[in-house]
Structure 1
Amino acid sequence: MKVVDLFAGAGGFSTGARLAGHQVVWAANHWPDAVEWHSRNHPGAMHICQDLHQADWSLVPEHDIMLASPCCQGHSKARGKAKGNPQHDASRSTAWAVVSAAEYHRPEIIVVENVPEFVDWTLYRPWELAMNALGYTIAPHIIDAADYGAPQHRVRLFLILSQSQQPLHLQIPRSQHMPAREFIDFEDGKWSLVNKPGRSKATLDRVKAGRSKFGDRFIMPYYGSGSGKTGRSLDRPIGTITTRDRWAVVDGDRMRMLTRFECRDAMSFPSDYQIPDNHRLAIHLLGNAVCPEPVKQILNAVEAAA
């Protein structure tokens, strides 16, 4: 089947579609860096760098499946949802581009990814009614990426929109969780002493607590919160990969942040997927992406149910 990817970002949605055996024919994003790296990894697709509020949908190839990840920052609890914040208002409004594209093309299937709070948006009901008016039924699915092939706990909402009389509720077999130790390379990265001068007391306390619970090797949030004060075992999936460095690896008396390649693997991108040499840019792109492996499972289930 032919697929288009709105708000394509680093290419997680597109990669999942490719892994499911589909052809990505078109992808768009407003961020030039995202378009550049998406095009490197998906050279067969047409690419456009544009605000999709202004897209000319007649220039988009015909397709069977539309994938869309409208901006989530205005919905996410992690970023806050302050009323009257113009940046968040503009972020939330990107969801209307999906309606506009669907009105023109009417693909059989649309899959929309966002944070679960998307359905709490004040304008979600009008958005849903607009899609219903175009002939789509909507089946919401809350997916934790760790349950479907990614070594990362990442809970996201996937809306399955179909041109069918009844909503398409998918049956997706869960897979065994993949532990973080499968992608941690203890021979790689830039290590430093845990007890180096200037290390914060909060970090040292967390390392101490982690050692008492997990031994010499474990992971923990270095920036931000999560996993309490003890970190987490390498025998379970890592927590959510974010757009900024968050997770540190502890190995005895040394520690370091995750490398960009480890973050790529934690997102379930293939090992040959190209990412920037610039660490900060790579982490931003990856933390903003959709996990490809769960997308593959979702699209396989869509095909089985259709």
Structure 2
Amino acid sequence: MTVAKPKVCSLFAGIGGIDLAFAQAGFEIVWANEIDKDACKTYRHNFPDTILSECDIRKIKASSIPDFNILTAGFPCQSFSVCGNKKGFEDERGNLFFEIMRFADEKKLEVIFLENVANLTEHDNGRTFNRIHNELSERNYYIRYIIADACNYGIPQHRTRTYIVAFKDFDMCNKFKFPEEQPLKKHIFDVIDRSIRADDKYYLDEKSVQYQKMKAAITDKNQIYRFSDYGIQKSNDGISFTLKANMGTWYNRVPIIKDNFGMRTITPKECLALQGFPATFDFPDIPIKSMYKQCGNTVVEPVIKRIATQLMLVIGDFFDNN
């Protein structure tokens, strides 16, 4: 019997970027977990019908979760990122990967989908990725993975990530193919509308030093800019640089554009647009710094949707949803 909607359990769900992608591909998200309180508010705002457990994953018994077919996890990446401390499994956050393995052991999962930074494969001279690969292989999973930049899949942002899909069934793994790259047809200002005036709070004060520095730096109004550790960073070819979670820590790291009304930071909704989220996805009443942090922590939704769509194609008769 062909499954209409295989069931998904989402760990480290964040605001639900992976969940949205899988739902749009035809999966049913039956349960999710996230520890960040503001991210949970955003998740519930957009997924009112999904059970969301707001707590430390280490305190959850897998046996207490509704049955599901597929586990997804965008597990914490700071331990592996070139922008983080790169401690890997020596960092408590890196060790949270083994919570995923605990769920796999207890629930006897058929498919696992993982997302992390591109540096995951290179961290510690490849030993970190080998450990992840071995942990899955020792549980008799067959593995496919890809390192993909969002701009090669139709999204005007350089955001390179590692995507891993692990299967218990060899035939399913053999049939699965990652989506092919596609030409980039949209650029930054096909996503951000400069003709619409933003709220006054986003515009730089013309008397500020920040304004004067950025005014001198903006030589191409078709690019996006931001202050960085190395001065002012500028995008190239109308493709945004990677949006980072530190936008929520240092407000001056939020990208800046020149629109029809002045120079301003891009809004949280525009950040989501550069991550490929639909306009219907919105934030509840939470601090703006949390919105920016969430935007930098989430995923490029259309890339994962295409992967999930490919996964749906190979599932066929493997699962029975009854």
TM-score between the two structures when normalised by the length of structure 2? 0.82
Partner of 2:302: 293
Question: Which residue among 166, 177, 183 is the counterpart of 1:176?
Answer: 183
Q: Which deviates more, 36-45 or 17-26?
A: 36-45
Question: Which residue among 91, 94, 108 is the counterpart of 1:92?
Answer: 94
Partner of 1:258: 266
Whether the aligned pair in 2 keeps the contact of 1:193 and 1:253 (CA below 8 Å) is no
Question: Which residue among 174, 187, 210 is the counterpart of 1:199?
Answer: 210
Partner of 2:166: 161
Q: Take 2:233 and 2:73, find their aligned partners in 1: how far apart are those partners?
A: 37
Q: Take 1:129 and 1:159, find their aligned partners in 2: how far apart are those partners?
A: 13
What percentage of aligned pairs have identical amino acids? 23
Match for 2:177: what amino acid?
Answer: L
Whether the aligned pair in 2 keeps the contact of 1:220 and 1:232 (CA below 8 Å) is yes
Higher relative contact order (CA 8 A, sep 6+): 2
TM-score between the two structures when normalised by the length of structure 1? 0.86
Unaligned runs of 5+ residues in structure 2 are: 1-5, 248-252, 316-322
Partner of 1:116: 118
Match for 1:133: what amino acid?
Answer: E
Shift of 1:43: 1.7
> Matches of residues 67-106 of structure 1 in structure 2 within 5 Å?
67-81=72-86, 89-106=91-108
Measured against aligned partners, the alpha-carbon deviations of 1:105-160 in whole angstroms (never above 9, x if no partner) come to 12221110001222325444333222112221111211212222433221100011
Measured against aligned partners, the alpha-carbon deviations of 1:88-120 in whole angstroms (never above 9, x if no partner) come to 711111111110111111222111000122232
Number of residue pairs matched by the alignment: 294
Whether the aligned pair in 2 keeps the contact of 1:194 and 1:254 (CA below 8 Å) is no
Match for 1:49: what amino acid?
Answer: E
Q: Take 2:242 and 2:114, find their aligned partners in 1: how far apart are those partners?
A: 19
Match for 1:287: what amino acid?
Answer: G
Aligned CA distance change for structure 1 residues 17 and 106 (closer, same or farther; 3 Å): same
Q: Take 2:137 and 2:73, find their aligned partners in 1: how far apart are those partners?
A: 17
Match for 2:75: what amino acid?
Answer: P
Partner of 2:277: 269
Q: Take 1:125 and 1:82, find their aligned partners in 2: how far apart are those partners?
A: 15
Shift of 1:303: 2.4
- Does residue 221 of the first structure (1) align with residue 231 of the second (2)? no
Q: Take 2:80 and 2:225, find their aligned partners in 1: how far apart are those partners?
A: 23
Measured against aligned partners, the alpha-carbon deviations of 1:1-27 in whole angstroms (never above 9, x if no partner) come to 111110000110000011111111000
Q: Take 1:253 and 1:222, find their aligned partners in 2: how far apart are those partners?
A: 18
- Match of 1:174, SS state, is coil
Match for 1:248: what amino acid?
Answer: I
Q: Take 2:204 and 2:277, find their aligned partners in 1: how far apart are those partners?
A: 31
RMSD, aligned CA: 2.6
Unaligned runs of 5+ residues in structure 1 are: none
Measured against aligned partners, the alpha-carbon deviations of 1:161-188 in whole angstroms (never above 9, x if no partner) come to 1113375562413233221112213223
Question: Which residue among 238, 241, 247 is the counterpart of 2:240?
Answer: 238
Partner of 1:54: 59
Q: Take 1:273 and 1:200, find their aligned partners in 2: how far apart are those partners?
A: 31
Shift of 1:230: 7.0
